[in-house]
Amino acid sequence: MWEQIRANRVRSIILVILMGALLVLIGWIIGMVFAGNAIAGLVIALIVWGFMSLIAYFQGDSILLGVAGAKKIQPSDHPRLYNVVEEMKIASGLEKMPDVYIIDDPALNAFATGRDVNHASVAITSGLLQKLNRDELQGVIGHEISHIKNRDVLLMSMCGVLLGTIVILSFYASRVMMFGAIAGGGGNRRSSRNSNGGGGGAIIIFIIAILLMILAPIFAQLIYFAISRKREYLADASSALYTRYPEGLASALEKLAQSSIPVKSATQATAPMYIANPFRNKNVSVNDWTSTHPPIQERIRILRAMGGGAAYSNYDQAYRTIKNTNSGIISDNTAAAVGAVGLRAAVAEGPVETAAPVDDKMTRTREVNDMMYRMNDYKTIQCECGAKLKVPPSMQGGVIKCPRCGRTHQA
Amino acid sequence: MWLIWVILGIVVIIIIFLAGTYNGLVNARNVVKNAWAQIDVQLKRRYDLIPNLVETVKGYKNFERDTLEAVTKARTAAQTASTSGDIAARSAAEGELTGALSRLMVVVEKYPDLKANQNFLALQEELTSTENKISFSRQAYNDQVLQYNNKTQQFPSNIVAGMFGFNKEQAFLQATESDAEKKAPKVSF
Amino acid sequence: MICPVCKKDMFVVEYKQIELDYCHSCKGVWFDAGELELLLEAGGLKEAKQTLGDVLKLPEARTSEKKRRCPICTINMKKVVIGGEKGVMIDACIRHDGLWFDGGEVADLIKIISAKATGKKETESEIMGFLKDVFGG
């Protein structure tokens, strides 16, 4: 497993270096244009980047969880979810149990965060928790845990910071330059200081600078997306390996694909953290290189084409078949290190389609909703007529009349 | 003069190699030990859950005595084997227990009242999860043992392993292939 | 959840494992899309996913009644008439979040369903049947 992390890391690092080079380039141009001194620009770029990185490193997870409105849960709040996270923690060989969070949102999604394996969290929306059976939940959590295990979270947040810095710097620099060009008119003050004679040369540098300012963020974004997509495939492969049951994740992704509710609190920068693209739109098949996630249908097809095994080599083979390519997603020595791995059977709850899915779904929905009510301090009253009244804290203390039978209750 | 430097350089390289390989082996062995401890924790958890389960199920009249007794007996046998230190004997006993539990869970299907009992459902979730944790920790342990054993056998780390007495570890494979589990119906208990 | 009419907290009524949000002061009812799906699936209607889409396909009712905002997405809801020609006007969220029934509308719906008593399994009759179960007794 270490081999695989290393091999993938090398490829990712090359891409990160490319992004870093873009940042350096931006800084250099800013320095040249505004101060006539490349070093000054570099220093500014690095200070902005360093500052943002520190925030992202130490506060990134709490910011992300806070923005998403995630609430931490205890084992007793939802034993099944907590158990599944623990199972995947064991299967992946993580040493520390990640914190488990729940997001009150009907959208279907989940993400992992935390700067390293010892400061990690997984979060899942209440909508997804309701929709998934045990096997599917295990697949999704396996995917998230593998983001933690493969150190994707840190990689992606650091890349996010790089991307953010590039976007911010080039945005403001290009605005200031445009403004300066218009306000400066015939180029009397600034350009005469920058270029010692040769006004034409200054204009060319200026145009190149503007072009770069526009192109750099786009390039950075594409690199970012490329890194992100690779990590998603790898996380799917790891999930299949941990659970020994690729169908669980495949079936969960199918449910995700059917839903078109966007995640309320997702932003472009946090998108790669989610298990599926949080801005998904049913009518657009996001199937190009401007996407943070590989198309969900393709991920499902790969998982289902794994045949009789759950090893990396099976996933790699399936990836090649589905993508019709010779270059796999997982390095050869990785696949060899893990060897052949068989599948397991579905859990007692039954294969995904059979075994009274409606009842299960209803029970799960009530289970999850009741947990959300408990966490929001609702009070439940059982009325004699068979209805249950769940009263929010603001209405407690008053008298509640059951709308079904008219009996009154002290809330 | 330069010869001394070359020799010194080679010695330094050898020391770095030895230290690195030695530390790598120690790490791998610790990971194996941790993985083993993890299995142990989960197996103990299972011993703890069984009396509760038996108590809950016993309350239901006409519940098949034989199935319950088989579970209790298998639990006692497994617990005894856990103190013996013999991995092969232990994984056989644990395999028996897994089989007995899975038969119990099949019998439970015949009792709709029991399946509606909140207490039982909570226990069932705990037991399902513990069974999963056992097989996941076994899975992780076997993977780690494979990697550690590879290191002790492959060149050049086998030299260091030989020098400092890193022995092969035994995999906990028997339980996955145990007869009890093979015969058990398709339920993941 | 906040009542889209009174802007006060609503409480939740669970009956037969289906939840409704109920406003104590205006007697209005919010039927959440997820709960609707559960109800229809339990009733054996396969196309539960289409339900809200079906309701939303109905023509926008011409009325002077004030537009209501969806309590979930806060977007103005669409007024549609369900329960046939002389049916009841309800509000449906255009983002498929759910349906809103004003206080009087539930009672009117129950009257309609009692008069009709169709045996046919349909989205609308399932919804009205359930509301009758909860508020009709």
Report domain extents, chain B: 49-183
Pairing of strands A99-103, C11-15: unpaired
C7 touches chain A (CB under 8 A): no
Same domain, A201 and A302: yes
d(CA B48, CA A313): 39
Contact status, residue B130 vs residue B49, Cβ threshold 8 Å: yes
Residue A407: closest C-alpha in chain C: C137
Please enumerate in sequence order all residues whose Cβ is within 8 A of that of A30, keeping only pairs 6 or more positions apart, or say none.
A41, A44, A45, A169, A173
Contact status, residue C83 vs residue C112, Cβ threshold 8 Å: yes
Task: Name the residue facing C38 among A365, A395, A404 (closest C-beta).
Answer: A365
Question: What pairs with residue C80 in β-bridges?
Answer: C90
Residues C47, C51, C55, C56, CA torsion sign:
negative
Q: Do chains B and A touch (3 or more CB pairs under 8 A)?
A: yes
Task: Name the residue facing A361 among C33, C38, C134 (closest C-beta).
Answer: C38
d(CA B73, CA B66): 10
A83 touches chain B (CB under 8 A): yes
What is the pLDDT confidence band of residue A12, given thresholds at 50, 70 and 90? confident
DSSP character string of C61-87: PP--SPP-B-TTT-PBPEEEEESSTT-
Identify the domain boundary among A307, A338, A369.
Answer: A338
Residue C23: closest C-alpha in chain A: A403
Tens of pLDDT, residue by residue over C85-104, are: 677 888 988 888 888 988 87
Please enumerate in sequence order all residues whose Cβ is within 8 A of that of A81, keeping only pairs 6 or more positions apart, or say none.
A73, A100, A102, A124, A129, A137
For residues B22 and A32, the model is more confident at B22
Query: Chain A contacts of C14, Cβ < 8 Å?
Result: 366, 387-390
Residue B177 has pLDDT above 70, yes or no: no
At residue B10, the pLDDT reads 94
At residue B68, the pLDDT reads 86
Average pLDDT value over all residues in chain B = 80
| Domain contains A228 | yes
A259 touches chain C (CB under 8 A): no
Query: Chain A contacts of B188, Cβ < 8 Å?
Result: 344-348
Quick one: average pLDDT of B136-145?
Answer: 83
Q: Do chains C and B touch (3 or more CB pairs under 8 A)?
A: no
Number of neighbours of residue A91 by Cβ within 10 angstroms: 29
At residue A260, the pLDDT reads 62
CA A69 to chain centre: 15
A402 touches chain B (CB under 8 A): no
At residue A349, the pLDDT reads 42
C58 touches chain A (CB under 8 A): no
Same domain, A191 and A307: yes
Question: What pairs with residue C31 in β-bridges?
Answer: C99
Tens of pLDDT, residue by residue over A194-240, are: 444 456 677 777 788 888 888 888 888 888 888 888 888 889 999 99
Query: Chain B contacts of A87, Cβ < 8 Å?
Result: 129, 132-133, 136
Contact B125 A80 (CB under 8 A): yes
Substitution target from B41, B49, B132 for chain A, most A beta carbons within 10 A: B132
At residue A1, the pLDDT reads 46
Percentage of chain A beyond pLDDT 90 is 12
For residues A386 and A143, the model is more confident at A143
Residues C106, C109, C111, C114, CA torsion sign:
negative
Tens of pLDDT, residue by residue over A280-295, are: 544 344 444 556 677 7
Same domain, A94 and A215: yes
Q: Which positions of A are catalytic?
A: 144
Looking at CA atoms only, how far is residue A111 from chain B in angstroms?
22
At residue A340, the pLDDT reads 55
Residue A367 has pLDDT above 60, yes or no: yes
Number of neighbours of residue A50 by Cβ within 10 angstroms: 12
Contact C9 A401 (CB under 8 A): no
C6 touches chain A (CB under 8 A): no
Substitution target from A3, A87, A149 for chain B, most B beta carbons within 10 A: A87
Residues C33, C34, C38, C44, CA torsion sign:
positive
A346 touches chain B (CB under 8 A): yes
Q: Could you list the residue range(s) of the whole structural domain that residue A291 is in? A: 2-338
Task: Domain count for chain A, please give it.
Answer: 2
Contact status, residue B141 vs residue B36, Cβ threshold 8 Å: yes
Query: Chain B contacts of A344, Cβ < 8 Å?
Result: 135, 188
Helix (H), strand (E) counts: chain B: 8, 0
Contact status, residue A276 vs residue A236, Cβ threshold 8 Å: no
Query: Chain C contacts of A395, Cβ < 8 Å?
Result: 9, 11, 24
Quick one: average pLDDT of C9-29?
Answer: 89
Number of neighbours of residue B176 by Cβ within 10 angstroms: 18
At residue A182, the pLDDT reads 66
Contact A388 C42 (CB under 8 A): no
> And the tokens for A142?
């396996």
Residue A344 has pLDDT above 80, yes or no: no
At residue B182, the pLDDT reads 35
Please enumerate in sequence order all residues whose Cβ is within 8 A of that of A263, keeping only pairs 6 or more positions apart, or say none.
A68, A105, A107, A109, A125, A274, A278, A279
Residue A394: closest C-alpha in chain C: C9
Identify the domain boundary among A338, A360, A394.
Answer: A338
Helix (H), strand (E) counts: chain C: 4, 6
Q: Which of residues 38-57 of C touch A (CB under 8 A)?
A: 38, 41-42, 49
d(CA B108, CA B57): 9
Contact A348 B126 (CB under 8 A): no
Same domain, A170 and A315: yes
For residue C62, give Cα distances in angstroms to A284, C55, C59, C66, C98.
33, 16, 9, 11, 21
At residue A239, the pLDDT reads 92
Chain C touching partners, 3 or more CB pairs below 8 A? A
A391 touches chain C (CB under 8 A): yes
Beta-carbon contacts below 8 Å between A and C? 67
| Domain contains A364 | no
For residue A65, give Cα distances in angstroms to A14, A120, A123, A164, A254.
29, 11, 8, 19, 26
At residue A88, the pLDDT reads 93
* Type and span of the H or E element at A71: strand A70-72
> And the tokens for A155?
């990689």
For residues A262 and A99, the model is more confident at A99
d(CA A67, CA A113): 13
At residue B27, the pLDDT reads 86
The CATH H-level superfamily of B49-183 is LemA-like domain (1.20.1440.20)
Quick one: average pLDDT of B22-26?
Answer: 87
